[in-house]
Amino acid sequence: MQKSLAQMYADSSARPSSYLLGYPDIRSMCQLQVEQLATQLPSITVWSVYNDLDRGKSRIGAGYRQEQLSSYTEISYLESELWWIDSLPSLQLSELTIASSYNAYVFPFCQQGSHPEYLLVLSYQPLLPSQQQCVEQSAQLLSHYLVIYKEYSRQKAEIQLLEQALQRSEHQTRNPLALIALYAENLRLCLHTGAEQEQAKVIHETAQKLSSDLKSLLYCGQQAKLQFTSCDLRLVLAESIQDLQPWLEQKQLRVLYPNAPITLAVDRWQLKQVFDNLLSNAVSFSPEGETISWQWQIFRNEAIFQVRDRGPGVPPEALEQVFAPFYTQRPGGTGLGLAIAKKIILDHRGSLWVDNLPEGGAQFSFTLPC
């Protein structure tokens, strides 16, 4: 049974955020949560520790001390994490005996080898059940922000890699395209009027268009370069279908999509690349004679799009990699199409993800703000 668009939206909302409106200032958020928590507890010290992905190391992200610890030795011992127990359950508050002078409570966010992430509370008095619940709620909120922070850092690294790949591609193809355009124009001028001269003209114009499109592709992700206009994305999809018509006819595929228009303010050229890449991916993996279906709907303050194919689906181990630059399962694929599509959607403050359908095939879904 296929999910409705509303159900699909609800499922996506429960996931770690696939896009962020700005850099997640995890340090400020940790500090705020720690200070608020410390004022509600009879605590000596509250601190959170997380892995700083930007610096590649673990450090104390935020701390609050109402009283100084009794000695520098105790501070050093706590920071050394020699008291850490690998069997501590993640996302659950545990009480530890670290020193006889105070009570210690630890909430592990996750455990990553020698660099665990956690919230630590030290108190002279045992915490009441209600106070322990307060610690758990604050820690769970911090855990959620850490998930967002890690997702942001991962996407940031992927985008940087993609930008480098695009710059390299543009540099490597700029001169060959310029030569093709130049020689095609020279050939046109040397030929007599007729079909051959017209073909040379088409080659010249095509090379120039490719050069222009490649330059536009480099602007993907630069907010200042986005050119928002109001356009009917149904017509944009129709153009993508028309461009792939020979391939669709070769595989005897049908593409179904709603008759209802859907008008949004987007960068039309860039959204065309998204439709091209997602449709091309669906065509590539669809068996002959099958159907590719598109759906869209306005839900809350977002437009939700999805495209389904009847192919083999995405291997479970590849679900987290399909949008990574240079990762591909398509014969002859470059591994850039889906990465570029995701980058464009992110730049439009949307979200793009993939699921396998219970009845077989893959479903790519993305949202755009209205």
Q: Look at 353 and 31; give whichever has higher pLDDT.
A: 353
Q: Look at 289 and 215; give whichever has higher pLDDT.
A: 289
The answer to whether the beta carbons of residues 23 and 156 sit under 8 Å apart is no
Last residue of a domain, which of 131, 152, 173? 152
Angle at 163 between CA 233 and CA 176, to 5 degrees: 90
Tell me the pLDDT band of 171, cut-offs 50, 70 and 90: low
Question: Rounded CA gap, 256 and 296, in Å?
Answer: 12
Same domain, yes or no: 35 and 125: yes
Q: How far is CA 9 from the centre of its chain?
A: 16
Residues 6+ apart with CB under 8 A from 70: 101
Same domain, yes or no: 33 and 132: yes
Is 362 part of any domain? yes
CATH of the domain at 327: 3.30.565.10
Same domain, yes or no: 138 and 247: no
Is 180 part of any domain? no
CATH of the domain at 100: 3.30.450.40
Strand 291-299 versus strand 254-256 pairing type:
parallel
pLDDT for the residue 38 = 81
Contacts 24+ apart (CB under 8 A), 350-357: 350/19, 350/302, 351/12, 351/17, 351/18, 351/19, 352/18, 352/323, 353/12, 353/15, 353/18, 354/314, 354/319, 354/322, 354/323, 356/313, 356/314, 356/316, 356/319, 357/2, 357/308, 357/313
Last residue of a domain, which of 152, 180, 206? 152
**Domain region containing 130:** 20-152
Residue type, 350: G
Same domain, yes or no: 53 and 134: yes
Radius of gyration of the chain (CA): 27
3-state class (DSSP) for residue 176: helix
Bridge partners, residue 48, by sequence: 62, 119
Is 166 part of any domain? no
Bridge partners, residue 292, by sequence: 255
Same domain, yes or no: 137 and 260: no
Same domain, yes or no: 252 and 365: yes
User: How many separate domains does the chain show?
Assistant: 2
Same domain, yes or no: 364 and 253: yes
Is 199 part of any domain? no
Is 58 part of any domain? yes
Same domain, yes or no: 227 and 358: yes
pLDDT for the residue 8 = 45
Q: pTM (2 decimals)?
A: 0.54
Is 273 part of any domain? yes
Category of 31 on φ-ψ map: left (φ > 0), alpha (ψ -120 to 50) or beta? alpha
Last residue of a domain, which of 91, 119, 152? 152
Is 92 part of any domain? yes
Question: Rounded CA gap, 256 and 287, in Å?
Answer: 16
Same domain, yes or no: 148 and 269: no
51-65, 132-146, 290-304: the lowest-pLDDT one:
51-65
Question: Rounded CA gap, 184 and 201, in Å?
Answer: 7
**Which strands make up the sheet holding 291-299, listed edge to edge?**
254-256, 291-299, 302-308, 362-369, 351-356
Is 182 part of any domain? no
pLDDT in tens, 155-170: 777 777 767 766 676 6
Strand 57-65 versus strand 43-52 pairing type:
antiparallel
Judge whether residue 140 has pLDDT over 80: yes
Residues 6+ apart with CB under 8 A from 295: 5, 257, 258, 305, 306, 308
- Percent of the chain's residues with pLDDT above 90: 21
